[in-house]
Structure 1
Amino acid sequence: MDRDISTVADGFSFLECPRWHDGRLWVSDFYTHRVVATDGRGAVEEVAEVPGQPAGIGFLPDGRALIASMRDKRLLVRETDGRLTEHADLSGLAPGVLNDMLVDERGRAYVGDFGFDLMAGAPMRDTGLTRVDPDGTATSVAEDLRFPNGMVLLPGGVLVVAETFAGRLTAFDVAEDGSLRDRRVWAAFGEAPDTDDVEQALGALAVGPDGLCSDAEGAIWVADALHARVLRVREGGEVLDEISTGAGVFACMLGGEDGRTLFLCTAPSFAEHERRPAREAELRAVRVEVPRAGLP
């Protein structure tokens, strides 16, 4: 379905991990090493500078932001005065640079990593999820995931993570202690490519699920990083809606005053050598019918 898509802000390098919080959208701009926030009407404020390259964003129960610092594999806390302090060091658990993150209502952070050197063309390698508790203790809670990416926490305590290079969404039940149980496929977009070659996998994937967000009907909006579109999907894999973005889209987030604005992180490509020197990424927005629910 074609929709009117507006540009909220532009001039970025590569936007990822958008989060709606307290009336503003927070988003990481990878290669300018900034986290910025916008009211969705054009005003943009730099809220953090992360030399190690920012990725996943979440919020602790007291309102402080958690930010994944990709290259040094640390979680940082943005204190109330704007300073960044270390919350956890994941260098002993994450084989690849840190990626997306979900922070639950208790302040537990679930963090993914690349698992291999994507930008250098290394063979694909499965990796897992790390849980960081509010006291900074880090524990491996899932393994054998093929490039874990965007995550949502649905009502009822179901964590769903995008496995980008497997072309599927994988679900876990979150136990009281924060452990993940009963792994299952929530939605599959065809067979997972049987290869460790990135180019071959990209050519075989029907959908490259990247960033995710969920709505009040239990459906998930999926940014398809390979086909310039976002898909609204229900459990089992039925596609309920599709919006063509006209440019690569790598993350999405429901927000706005009524929760019905779908924000889109777009760029011509995801390759670092193309995006680092350019300022072609945009934050766009489109209106949808069903409002936001769940986390993030």
Structure 2
Amino acid sequence: MINPIILYITIIVDVIFGEPNEKVHPTVLIGRLISLLERLLPSTYSNNKIRDFLFGSVVTVTTILIVGYISYIVEKLILALPKHLSYLLYAILLSTTIGYRSLKEFCIKPIEALIEGDLEKARELVKHVVSRNTEDLDKEHILSASIESLSENLTDSVISPLFYAIFFGLVGAFIYRTVNTLDAMIGYKNSKYYYYGKLAARLDDILNFIPSKISGLLLIITAPFYGGDWKRALYGFLFESLKTPSPNSGFTMATLANALNMSLEKIGYYKLGNGRIDIDKSLRAFKAIDYSIIAFLLIYTLLWWLFEGFH
């Protein structure tokens, strides 16, 4: 299990510096590798379902193996360095697999535009947060879209990569980020990727299965700290979490919606919670993310001391 000091440094590095430059960002480089392999093994747009599945699976597995091998070598080199230097370099690399600061920055911008009274600007900004049509969204649904993305990505952007780093080190974190990037690039349910990206999409669902539950539970535990109701949060976790098309995203969205007594709705797809969403509740959702991550670090630190610290 990874020393919790590394996780604290990882979060601090991400909060202070944010995302690395695109030229050296590992996720961007992974994306370029995926694009290269996709050009070599192109989709038939579902004209040949078996070939699409096989080619997409080869792209998925090849990308995972390449990234896994490189991260394994890099991890070995870092761990051979003096302890304090290795901790710092390890944390810096690990910070590139999370997106805590960038997640909050992207999701707060549409809300800031609404605070300024600029609905059109908010509609434009929320396009960078969700993939749905935003041209006719009203204030409430813009707030909803921002908080849906914020809560869903608590898992994808922070908890999942840290969870896999705890048990499998840099290799685990980078393989998770690779699968998540594959899902984001080829995991769509359209003619081009329906069969081509099926393995990538299923792997992403599998890898997020446990972390999404952890994220939901963290939102329940910390509810009193961000002005939420832990009983309503628990209700959302238990009874509304499977209303979303994704098998994992509902655990954080439904929990947070009910904790803050607000509705999160993607029109025509799902509605979570019953209360009215407003600016104040939306801003408290950002505190919920902060407290959940702090709780994750503190709980892991306690567990590490119990199981590793006295050896």
Q: What is the TM-score when the length of structure 1 is the normalising length?
A: 0.26
Bigger relative CO (Cα 8 Å, ≥ 6 apart): 2
Greater helix fraction, Structure 1 or Structure 2: 2
Which is greater in Rg?
A: 2
Q: What is the TM-score when the length of structure 2 is the normalising length?
A: 0.25
